[in-house]
Copies of this chain bind each other. A is one copy, B any other.
Amino acid sequence: MQNPVTVEVTRGKLVESRHRGMGIVVDGDGKVVFSFGDADAGVFPRSACKAMQALPLVESGAADAYGFGNAELAFSCASHSGEDRHVAMAASMLAKAGKDVSALECGAHWSSDQATVIHQARTIDKPSALHNNCSGKHSGFVCTCVHSGTDVAGYVGYDHPLQREIRDVMQSLTGATLGEDNCGIDGCSIPTYAVPLRGLAHGFAKMLTGQGLSHTRATASRRLMEACMAEPFYVAGTNRACTKLMELAPGKIFAKTGAEGVFVAALPDHDLAMAVKCEDGTTRAAEAMIFALIARYFEKGSETQEKLMSMANRQMHNWNGYHVGDVRVTDVLFA
């Protein structure tokens, strides 16, 4: 199936670049409310499914045992920019379980956010695993293992009990069979599994509505999503799309991005969840698609809807601040 052009990037009067993509909106029963492109194709959700991967932290009782509130839970679902408050939060979560940075197996990297990497360059010699954009998720993993009495060492491995549990959680939520054939290794070294976009969206709709879930899982799911909506800075950071979306309409939008052009969102007022993937893996297009897709469910002309559409269709400015072109979504998003 040919994915349609969903986002255009213009310069002057012309289209300079085009992005193709797929997307789907489903309810808790898995009923498709809207879709475009090949929503049954397998897609690596990457970091977009972090709230699913954080479920063992809550379901095991570890989060309660360590006294984690909304900020810690939001951070366990985060792809953060490595700002000082993020780094401090990772260290604090690890300390609650008697651990430190040496327990993290995610690797280290400088921030990919320009303002943050400039600050980092001026304040630290080099980044540690605490600065890794996945250090929140990994700190949650370490806490889960310590609380459960499972070996922490090797917690990123395909056969480690924690990754087996996460695999079970994700199979149950997405309805996809996960195994070595659709497994890849993520940037932070844990397994990532390709699942149909439809299943990914349905998994988040189940988490949002609790439909088809045990009471324990439904409660844990809602708690994680509400924590992200309550503490959006800890999910991403300053000027980041996830943070801006969740700050825009508090309690009304859950949103999480993933590498290679994935974005998921859930709308509590509508009992709907959605997922998009840009075919070429570009973030600017994934963002434009999810902004426009979310906007469909806010009243036309309302402040929130207009703000969302101004994020979906935005001006690009050059180094002198001149308006040189636009990123804009196509009619595919409004069919």
Using CB atoms and an 8 Å cutoff, list the residues of chain A in contact with chain B. 2, 9, 11-14, 16-20, 42-44, 105-110, 114, 117-119, 121-122, 132, 181-189, 192, 194, 260-261, 278-282, 285, 318-322, 324-325
Q: Which residues of B contact A9 (CB under 8 A)?
A: 260, 281
Q: In the bound complex, do residue A187 and residue B107 qualify as a contact, i.e. CB atoms below 8 Å apart?
A: no
- Which 6 pairs of residues, A with B, have the shortest CB-CB distance? A107-B319, A12-B184, A17-B281, A11-B184, A121-B121, A107-B320
Query: Can you list 13 A-B contacts with CB-CB less than 8 angstroms, sorted by A residue number?
Result: A12-B182, A16-B43, A17-B278, A17-B279, A106-B319, A107-B320, A107-B321, A108-B319, A110-B118, A132-B319, A184-B324, A185-B324, A280-B285
Chain B residues within 8 Å of A280, by CB: 17-20, 279-280, 282, 285
* CB-based contact A184/B114 at 8 Å: no
Residue A187 contacts which of B187, B192, B285, B318 (CB distance < 8 angstroms)? B318
CB distance from A317 to the nearest CB of B (A): 10
Residue of B nearest to A17 (CB): B281
Of chain B, the residue at the smallest CB distance from A134 is: B319
A120 to B189, CA, bound (A): 31
Q: Which of B117, B122, B188 contacts A319 (CB 8 A)?
A: B188
> Residue on B with the closest CB to A281?
B17
The answer for the CA separation of A187 and B17 in the assembled complex, in Å, is 15
Q: How far is the CA of A216 from the CA of B43 in the complex (A)?
A: 55
B281 and A16 contact, CB distance less than 8 A: yes
Q: Assuming the A-B contacts A118-B121, A320-B107, are A16 and B184 also in contact, with contact meaning beta carbons closer than 8 angstroms in the complex?
A: yes
Taking A14-B44, A16-B184 as given, write out 18 further A-B residue pairs in contact, using a Cβ cutoff of 8 Å, ordered by the A residue number: A11-B185, A11-B192, A11-B194, A12-B183, A12-B185, A14-B42, A17-B260, A17-B261, A17-B278, A20-B280, A109-B319, A110-B118, A117-B117, A184-B325, A185-B324, A189-B319, A189-B322, A280-B282
Contact B107 A318, beta carbon cutoff 8 Å: yes
Task: Determine if A44 and B18 form an interchain contact, defined as CB atoms under 8 angstroms apart.
Answer: no
Evaluate contact between A186 and B318: CB separation under 8 angstroms.
Answer: yes
Question: Could you tell me the distance in whole angstroms from the C-beta of A33 to the nearest C-beta in chain B?
Answer: 26
Determine the residue in chain B with the shortest Cβ distance to A319.
B107
* Residue of chain B at shortest CB distance from A280: B280
Complexed CA–CA distance, A183 and B14 (Å): 8
**The one of B44, B189, B321 that contacts A318, using a Cβ cutoff of 8 Å:** B189
Residues of B within 8 A of A194 (CB): 11-12, 14, 16
Q: Which residues of B contact A187 (CB under 8 A)?
A: 318-319, 324
Most B CB contacts (10 A, CB to CB) among A2, A117, A186, A281 go to A281
Cα A42 to Cα B13 with chains together (Å)? 12
Assembly CA distance A11 to B12 (angstroms): 37
Q: Which residue of B lies closest to A9 (CB)?
A: B281
A15 CB to closest chain B CB (Å) equals 9
A71 to B: closest C-beta gap in Å: 24
Q: Which residues of B contact A184 (CB under 8 A)?
A: 11-14, 16, 324-325
Contacts of A108 in B (CB 8 A): 319
A265 to B325, CA, bound (A): 27
Taking CB atoms, residues of chain B closer than 8 Å to A114 are 110, 117
CA of A319 to CA of B111, assembled, Å:
12
In the complex formed, the residue of B with least CB distance to A185 is: B324
